[in-house]
């Protein structure tokens, strides 16, 4: 669903997402439109803070290589993606966040953590909206 929404990302928008969406395809889609991402690191990806450009304690910049081409993607489309994406990895409060907001002076690890924490509030709001809509639909059906 997020891929379909990427066309609506504008310059300076920030996508907050969980670890399952921390893919090169989603990230590059946001970057291509001038947006950025803040996501939890996917558990399959190993973060080694001794590698890459050190920006601070448990804060570094690395290059993520382009993943293998999925069978559903044409060769031309695959080649349109860059060979690597510069990503920042930050560990805060026991959680590793990855982001395209690369400047630690402009956006601290603490600020990234606060921003990412807002994602949970959004999830709770979505759950409330879904329940409210379900309740309204059920109530409307009972009146029929």
Query: For residue 2, is pLDDT > 80?
Result: no
Q: To 5 degrees, how large is the angle CA 85–CA 24–CA 72? A: 135
In the predicted model, is pLDDT for residue 33 greater than 70? yes
Q: What is the pTM of this model?
A: 0.80
Tell me the per-residue pLDDT of 44-72, one tens digit each, with 9 for 90 and over. Answer: 888 999 999 999 999 999 999 999 999 99
The rounded distance, in Å, linking the Cα atoms of 86 and 78 is 18
Do the strands 59-65 and 53-56 form a parallel or antiparallel pair, or are they unpaired?
Answer: antiparallel
Question: Residue written as tokens 């990503």?
Answer: 87
Instruction: List, in sequence order, every beta strand (DSSP E) within the chain.
Output: 14-17, 36-40, 53-56, 59-65, 84-92, 95-99
Query: What does the pLDDT look like over 82-120, one tens digit per residue?
Result: 999 999 999 999 999 999 999 999 999 999 999 998 887
- Per-residue pLDDT tens digits for 37-48: 999 998 888 899
């Amino acid at each position: 669903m997020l891929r379909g929404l990427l066309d609506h990302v504008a310059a300076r928008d920030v996508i907050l997402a969980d670890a399952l969406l921390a893919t090169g395809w989603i990230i590059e889609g946001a970057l291509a439109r001038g947006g950025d991402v803040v996501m939890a690191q996917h558990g399959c990806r190993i973060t080694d803070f001794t590698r890459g450009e050190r920006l601070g304690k448990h804060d570094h910049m690395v290059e993520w290589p382009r993943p293998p081409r999925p069978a559903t993607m044409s060769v031309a489309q695959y080649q349109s993606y860059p060979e690597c994406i510069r990503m920042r990895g930050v560990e805060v409060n026991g959680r590793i966040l990855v982001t395209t907001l690369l400047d630690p002076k402009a956006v601290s690890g603490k600020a990234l953590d606060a921003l990412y924490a807002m994602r949970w509030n959004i999830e709770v709001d979505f759950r409330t909206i879904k329940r409210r809509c379900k309740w309204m639909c059920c109530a409307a059906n009972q009146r029929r």
